[in-house]
Amino acid sequence: MDMRKFRGERFLKVADVADGPIQKRIAAVKMGKWDKPDLVLFSGSVLSLNATNTEILSRAYGDDSGGWIDRDIELFHGEIEYQGKMQEAVKVRPLSPSISAADRAAITKKLDAGTAAKDDGFGGKPARKGKGASDMDDEIPF
């Protein structure tokens, strides 16, 4: 029996980058706890996004999280301001090239075309099902 589905999610913490930066690739973006997005990485680990990291990724790859998939990022130890105080945090640095305005528009158009009306919580639409549907909706093993 494959036991991966019974393991809990492994969230990245400051201690994971204390010895130096690590490079990862984004596999998915999903709604996490406390109404904040989570990055699911191909390694199986998860990074809960704070406002700072969300802004960094949005500037590099667009406001639609669909443009973030398959992008390489570096995770490193840094500080962010939270409630008026500086706190240690895992910060992101985009490694893959940024998306051009034309590419952003094409991604948005592709995501909007032929998809259900229900919003995924990140401004995009879920993948359509049935004939011509993408096979990219498999569960990510942990």
**Domains in the chain: ranges and CATH:** 8-99 (2.40.50)
Question: What is the structure's pLDDT at 7?
Answer: 67
Query: Which amino acid, one-letter code, is at 139?
Result: E
Q: Could you count the other beta carbons within 10 Å of the beta carbon of residue 123? A: 13
DSSP secondary structure of 100-120: PHHHHHHHHHHHHTT--S---
Residue 139 pLDDT level (bands cut at 50, 70, 90): low
Strands, E, within 9-59: which ranges?
Answer: 10-11, 22-31, 37-41, 45-48
Lowest-confidence region among 17-21, 22-26, 95-99 = 95-99
d(CA 111, CA 134): 11
